[in-house]
Amino acid sequence: MPQVKLIMGVKGSGKTKQFIDLVTHALEGEKGDIVCLEKGSRLTYDLPHAVRLIESAEYGFNNYEFLKGFLSGLRAGNYDITHVFIDSVLRMIDVPLDERAEEFFDWCEAFGQKHGIKFTMMVSADVAAATENIRKYF
């Protein structure tokens, strides 16, 4: 079973509502800790208070390597994390959908398999731009 799930679409396609529903469902159905990374604070009042909400600007997220290190640090500090949600991952580090995104999704898949962590990420981009490697995470 894949550890990575992508919610992909252009602005106004209903990604945020689906994302919030998935976070809430995970909180109700999973026994571990749920973490949500976001850029800005737009989800603050939409997510249950039991979700650990982390605002990326406070930490200076600026590339995939930093994000990998941050996720690794989260895991090192809390073995009870079972699900990490990332809101608008491309906007968070201000990059386009390209081969680096594919590499990051694959890294999350391997990291998740190794540590028992699921990743759900929202990607603000046209689904038509997704390669076959990215589509496997839909």
pLDDT in tens, 8-66: 999 999 999 999 999 999 999 999 999 999 998 889 999 999 999 999 999 999 999 99
112 pLDDT band (50/70/90 cuts)? very high
User: Taking the mean position of all CA atoms in its chain, how far away is CA 61?
Assistant: 13
CA 117/CA 108 separation, integer angstroms: 9
> Any idea which fold 4-135 has?
Rossmann fold (3.40.50)
Give the pairing of strands 4-9 and 81-86. unpaired
* pTM for this prediction: 0.96
| Element housing 41 (H / E) | none
pLDDT at res. 1: 82
Count of Cβ atoms closer than 10 Å to residue 25 Cβ: 10
